[in-house]
Structure 1
Amino acid sequence: MLEYEPTWRAMQAFTDGRDADTPDEVWLVEHPPVYTQGQAGKPEHLIAATTIPVVQIDRGGQITYHGPGQVVAYVLLDLRRNGLGVRELVRKLEQSVIDTLADFGVIAYGKVDAPGVYVNPEMGEAKIASLGLRIRKGCSYHGLALNVNMDLTPFDWINPCGYAGMRVTQLSDFASDATSAAIAGKLAEKIAYQIKPLTDVGVLAL
């Protein structure tokens, strides 16, 4: 369990210190309760008073929540070296989540107009994973957050990703035995599968 702000600063420092030969990395973490608000974030999307801290950060997008029971994958890649565009990276990250969920019999999908991964179109669409990136010097940081087995209540106090009324769900609603530790390993494998044809990726569980 790592505090959010030091992890964010470490991502920035890693990216700023890269050179042409720096290996790419994926960091797998969980955070204590925290809201993060992206560059497009608006204060009105925090819709209830709460003691959970809000951190203004440098990724794209609006407000989201991180907390125990959520697996966060930070993707530190040199896009230029790998000939990888931002949209392609987003698609690959979404696919890694979709493939992870498929191992538990959960059908999921991405959306062109709203990055992330979604489930349950028949019963009322719900978001199960959020995604946000920052590109600096041709390199990515930040990444994705997959809800596994967590208290979802703090999502009720925001408009998740800026969408009022967006439903949020988690893997344990479909697979009661899902744990963050087990999912982190699977997600790491899926991300490596999506990215490794392009580069060697070091996966670190912090």
Structure 2
Amino acid sequence: MPAAEALPLVVRRLGLVEYEPTWAAMRAFTDARSDETADELWLLEHPPVFTLGQAGKPEHLLRETGIPLVKIDRGGQITYHGPGQIVVYLLVDLHRRHIKVREMVSLMEQALIDCLADYGLAAERKDGAPGVYIAGAKIAALGLRVRNGCTYHGLALNVDADLAPFSAINPCGYEGLETIRMKDFGVTDGVAAVGERLLAHLGRLLAPRPAADRP
């Protein structure tokens, strides 16, 4: 069994990067990794783009906006990425960290909830609808792909993003779902500061645990 010190977590802060090359890089990283490859977290933002999950329905794009639509290989329906929204991609070997897929989803949600709590915001999960919500409105989305026991894709948290593009979709396939951002609650920290807090919570929750503490 790998010792804690044998489970490094590499953080890459990529800035504003185009969606499709980043997606290709995630797949290439996952395909090339070995038992010795360190897990990585990629912190970034994307220029405006809609992404449609592998079982996604095109009709959830309600109107043409000029924003590109990319059909991808994560779970879930349609979502929007754009500047002012934190994206963290989690390239993690689940077997090595003794984490099940559902537990990984819960871990990602908990990191978001804990990060928002740092700003006095009471966020919560919603049964059957992965993501994080405040008073029923969605502030963070997530979606994963697992290949050979390793994850890629990840989560997105609205900090001070333009929310107008969300009106052109049924976010995550839910008609009429309200989408919100941290700025609406008076949070003045930008994506860089919030991103560092979120990375800290993810790192804490991904840290190796004694066998007795695992589900």
Shared topology, TM-score over 0.5?
yes
Length, aligned pairs only: 195
Match of 1:28 in 2: 43
Contact kept? 1:100, 1:190, Cα under 8 Å: yes
Q: TM-score, normalised by structure 2?
A: 0.89
Match of 2:92 in 1: 77
The runs of at least 4 consecutive aligned structure 1 residues that moved more than 4 Å come to none
Aligned sequence identity (%): 58
Matched, 1:55 2:70: yes
SS of structure 2 residue aligned to 1:108: coil
Shift, 1:197, TM fit: 2.6
What value does the CA root-mean-square deviation take over the aligned residues?
1.1
Pick from 149, 154, 173 the counterpart of residue 143 of structure 1.
Answer: 154
**Higher RCO, 1 vs 2 (CA within 8 Å, ≥6 residues apart):** 1
Matched, 1:127 2:138: yes
Pick from 32, 35, 45 the counterpart of residue 17 of structure 1.
Answer: 32
Match of 1:157 in 2: 168
What amino acid is aligned across from residue 76 of structure 1 in structure 2?
L
Q: Deviations over 1:159-191 (max 9, x none)?
A: 000000000000111134121011110000010
Matched, 1:102 2:147: no
Distance in 1 of aligned mates of 2:39 and 2:188? 32
Distance in 2 of aligned mates of 1:197 and 1:81? 9
SS of structure 2 residue aligned to 1:109: coil
**Range 95-104 or range 170-179, more displaced:** 170-179
Distance in 1 of aligned mates of 2:187 and 2:92? 33
What amino acid is aligned across from residue 55 of structure 1 in structure 2?
V
Match of 2:189 in 1: 178
Matched, 1:2 2:17: yes
Pick from 166, 177, 186 the counterpart of residue 166 of structure 1.
Answer: 177
Q: TM-score, normalised by structure 1?
A: 0.93
SS of structure 2 residue aligned to 1:141: strand
Contact kept? 1:128, 1:168, Cα under 8 Å: yes
Instruction: List gaps (5 residues or longer) in structure 1.
Output: 199-206
Shift, 1:50, TM fit: 1.1
Contact kept? 1:104, 1:175, Cα under 8 Å: no
Contact kept? 1:34, 1:65, Cα under 8 Å: yes
Distance in 1 of aligned mates of 2:179 and 2:61? 16
What amino acid is aligned across from residue 133 of structure 1 in structure 2?
L
